[in-house]
Chains A and B, each alone.
Chain A
Amino acid sequence: MAMPPLRAFALATLSVSMAAPLTFSAAIASDKAPSELVLAIGGEPKEGFDPLLGWGQYGHPLFQSTLLTRDAKLETQPDLAKEWTLSDNRLTWTITLRDDAVFSDGTPLTAHDVAFTFNQAASAGGALDLSAFDSAEAVDDFSLVIHLKKPWITFTENFYSLGIVPAAEYGQDYGRHPIGSGPFKLISWTEGEQLIVERNTEYYGKQPEFSKITFLFTGEDTSLAAARAGQVDMAAVPPALADAAPSGFKQVVVESVDNRGITFPILADEGKTDAEGNKLGNAVTSDRAIRRAINLGVDRDLLVQVALFGHGTPASGPADRLPWSNPKAAVEYDLDAANALLDQAGWLRGEDGVREKEGVRAAFPINYLASDSTRKALAITLAEQLKALGIEATAIGKSWESLGQIFHSEPVVFGWGSHTPLEVYSLYQSDWAGAGYYNVGYFSDAAVDAHFAAAQAAPTLEASYPDWQAAEWDGTTGYGAKGEAGWAWLVNLEHIYYVNECLDLGETQIEPHGHGWPITSLIQNWTWTCE
């Protein structure tokens, strides 16, 4: 019945020793040629490498190529498309392709493949926005037209992210055996372990310097241990581990719009539920004064310091530093103003310091994904800060499933960040209320909807930017913190990589949501600087 002391000791110290991961599942050649790279940056797609099911939405599709591409400054550059024009009624795109593109199996890429890709994607119902798409048809081998049902300027995002697949080869199993016209081709993929890709010699663009790249899908700790052992050339690391680069490695910090914020349920708590029976509305956050006060009264610099160890920037909106966000929409941290706002709105402090209004206590949970340590740290730190406002918030960790049951009625820490304004549209447009993970708070505002509609009807993406900005803050209202304050955006992450000192990544983009894979979008520009 007694506990052997040795076992007691072993169990107690087990947890300490488990912190040093000792095993690697993937075989790594230690004496590899410099023309080969091993990357441990995560980002394995669950659905495989099928662009029609969403592969390539964040970062580059790698195996396929797209009609257009973005450079390091996020400026549009031609890729497969040589010319692209939108008709005056904004319903027809006419696209001319380059004539030298071939798939990795040697067959030429023609307008028929492009038309097939778009038509097929529309019927596949993947993660892409093809709601405005009507049909695509090839005019001849190297030009095609795409018809839209309605003017929809964010349709262009598909030109950047939808990889073109071969009409002749596409089938059920494509996601595991992709054939495309991108800079690399897939050699082998062991799910959950590693992906090996090789340079596509048929690629029409600039040939990458590295002939073979291995992606290891290891956990963060394991990736770092592998970097220490010199077995990888690049490892993505979380903020907590970001300040101890192993010898031979440099720390590369990439700015991102990978943001974190909390959603506010906008509806009042009237006992209603959605179609699945999940509760709608929240008696506290449905008051705009509460939402504005939280936006005003949170010290985002402190959040960055505590939760991100300084590796981030304060966030004011869902698309900071991108041309469709409005710099004027940001609010400065002002605790006194926030408290005054709450006093005015009738939220008065009770005996325990927590505010009340008409019998409603200013208290709510802040839910976060339990397995995500950064979100947990944000939720805990935010809850602590809200005490100064007289708001009692409790950080609660949950699984994705449980979050899906409460996110219409309680604040949740979420993260977004994309290279297209479509995301902003999906987060705040009233028709998107309750759709998936986007507008979970049922945000709805007529003025914001009107600005969105104007933006979507613009002749070019560049011309639509002022309307997107007005949706965030137009001087009187907007979805931003000065207006309806549909969210409290908190921080933008910095993506941190430990990179072999000999590997030069060139200029990097502002990365979208998703640590890891986006770094590969300019992989053709990577060079090896050592002999």
Chain B
Amino acid sequence: MNHAVAPQAMNSLVIRSNNRISTLMLTALGLGGILLVALGSVLIGDRGITMDFSARMLAPSWQHWFGTDQFGHDMLARTLHGLSLSLNVGLITAALSTAIAVVLAMLAATGGRWADAVVSFLIDTTLGLPHLMLLILIAFALGGGTTAVIIAVTLTHWPRLTRILRAEILQVRSAEYVQASRQFGKSWWYIGRHHLLPHLLPQTLVGFTLLFPHAILHEAALTFLGFGLEPGKPAIGTLLADSMRYLMAGNWWLGLFPGLGLLLLVLSFDAIGNGIRKLTDPRLSEV
């Protein structure tokens, strides 16, 4: 996938001008949203986990901003718990996927013709399979649960970043100053550390950040379909799946707020990812 295309679409939607101040603010806003979720879920403690049978199925009010469910769980607290759970799963999977991508990209770009062929084949194979299908297959084969979701999402999210990093390495490697360095008798190890890595780091960071929303959404989707996290955990996917049967009865708040929460979390990561890219990209920095 061409990584330049999507952020452009983002531009046209969110900020038309490429103003560095507004980019910075958007990034900060995204970061703030994520910190809020992380801190909030710690601060509320047991709220949303313990039941209050006297406050069942209440519509949103000042006491319960997001309403309550069948057992009297506060939905705001429950949504925060769910988002924080998603954050944790997202963090682990995005980190693991990025690590796989970096290792494979290095291997492909520096390991010779055969290594490149093998990695390219792996990328094509993984990308060629329907994404959600592969996720379900792996999660199902591993018996579901948190570990299964983490493994399934990790194993399906590395190829695109690998492809980008590989291209980046190939490009830098053929640059004149790298060729010159080689002519001066520097080892590949030296070149890798001093010429390649500085170029790869921003790309990797952006890739990691933008993997996050993917991982979170796929975790939620897997859980929603019943292949993911344990049903006892207040994951967003579980909340949405549970809300299904009450929507027909008119209890809209059970589905709307967790859904919105997930959307905002994903948009926060998008904002951060794009912000980092724009703020570090020399071609955009002078505008």
Listed in ascending order, the chain A residues whose CB lies under 8 Å from chain B are: 1-6, 8-9, 11-13, 15-16, 18-20, 220-221, 224-225, 238, 240-241, 243-244, 302, 305-307, 309, 370, 373, 376-377, 380-381, 384, 394-397
Contacts and interface: CB of A to CB of B under 8 A. Distances in A.
Contact of A384 (B51, B207, B260): B51
Contact of A381 (B71, B220, B224): B71
Contact of A2 (B221, B255, B270): B270
A6 B217 CA distance: 13
Nearest to B1: A1
From B1, B226, B241, B255, residue with most partner A Cβ within 10 Å: B255
Contact of A19 (B70, B221, B243): B243
Contacts, number: 122
Given A16-B240, A19-B243, A244-B249, A3 B214 contact: yes
Contact of A13 (B71, B244, B249, B259): B259
From B7, B13, B164, B249, residue with most partner A Cβ within 10 Å: B249
B206 interface: yes
Contacts of A3: 6, 210, 213-214, 217, 266, 270
B210 A1 contact: yes
24 contacts: A1-B6, A1-B210, A2-B210, A5-B6, A5-B10, A5-B270, A8-B263, A9-B263, A11-B220, A15-B240, A15-B244, A16-B240, A19-B247, A19-B255, A221-B248, A244-B248, A244-B249, A306-B56, A306-B70, A306-B71, A309-B70, A373-B242, A381-B51, A384-B71
B210 A221 contact: no
Contact of B267 (A5, A15, A18, A241): A5
B232 interface: yes
A236 to B, nearest CB: 14
B218 to A, nearest CB: 9
Interface in B164-203: 164
Contacts of A20: 247-248
Nearest to A398: B231
B241 A15 contact: yes
B161 interface: yes
Contact of A1 (B53, B207, B230, B232): B207
A311 B237 CA distance: 28
A306 B3 contact: no
A2 B70 CA distance: 38
A11 B217 contact: yes
B9 interface: yes
Nearest to A371: B226
Contacts of B231: 370, 376, 397
B158 to A, nearest CB: 11
B256 interface: yes
Interface of B: 1, 3, 6-7, 9-10, 13-14, 51, 53, 56, 70-71, 160-161, 164, 206-207, 210-211, 213-214, 217, 220-221, 224, 226, 230-232, 237, 240-250, 255-256, 259-260, 262-263, 266-267, 270, 273-274
Nearest to A243: B249
B203 to A, nearest CB: 9
A240 B232 contact: no
B273 A241 contact: no
B24 to A, nearest CB: 19
Nearest to B243: A19
A18 B6 contact: no
A423 B18 CA distance: 74
From A19, A221, A306, residue with most partner B Cβ within 10 Å: A19
A343 to B, nearest CB: 25
Contacts of B1: 1
A16 B56 contact: no
B263 A13 contact: yes
A12 B259 contact: yes
Nearest to B72: A306
Given A15-B240, A19-B248, A221-B244, A2 B232 contact: no
Contacts of A306: 53, 56, 70-71
A9 B213 CA distance: 11
A8 B264 CA distance: 10
Given A19-B247, A240-B246, A241-B248, A4 B262 contact: no
A365 to B, nearest CB: 10
A384 B262 CA distance: 28
Q: Which 6 A-B pairs have the closest CB atoms?
A: A2-B6, A19-B247, A12-B263, A15-B240, A1-B3, A19-B244
A376 B1 CA distance: 43
A2 B273 contact: yes
A303 B103 CA distance: 55
Contacts of A19: 243-244, 247-248, 255
Contacts of A220: 245
Given A12-B217, A396-B232, A1 B164 contact: yes
Contacts of B3: 1-2
From A8, A224, A306, A377, residue with most partner B Cβ within 10 Å: A8
Contacts of A395: 232
